[in-house]
Amino acid sequence: MSEGCEEGMAGRANYGPWVWSAYRAYHELLRDKIKKRFDAQEGPWMDQVADLLVQIVNARWDGGRKKEKEEGELFAKLEHLLSE
């Protein structure tokens, strides 16, 4: 390789981290925009699913026979939401 070509290759190597940072920033921006779209369209439904999942976990932590019935009802609600 000629000396000029070697300098060109070394110069490009110095920009590598910047190029990868630019790609990463691009994908993060796209990811954020997609998340906003999902939140706008599916947010209320996802909030309901999240609430039910928290209630299920809490019912399991509370335990006991009384809670088994409550847990079953919560799973039924969750099934209904997921089938929508």
Distance CA 55, CA 76 (A): 12
For 4-47, how does the pLDDT look when each residue is reduced to its tens digit (9 = 90+)? 555 555 556 678 888 999 999 999 999 999 999 999 999 999 99
Long-range own/partner contacts, residues 38-45 (CB < 8 A, 24 or more apart)? 45/81, 45/84
Predicted confidence band at 58 (pLDDT cuts at 50, 70, 90)?
A: confident
Distance CA 11, CA 30 (A): 29
Please spell the DSSP secondary structure of the chain, one letter per residue.
--HHHHHHHHHHHHHHHHHHHHHHHHHHHHHHHHHHHHHHHHHHHHHHHHHHHHHHHHHHHH-SHHHHHHHHHHHHHHHHHHH-
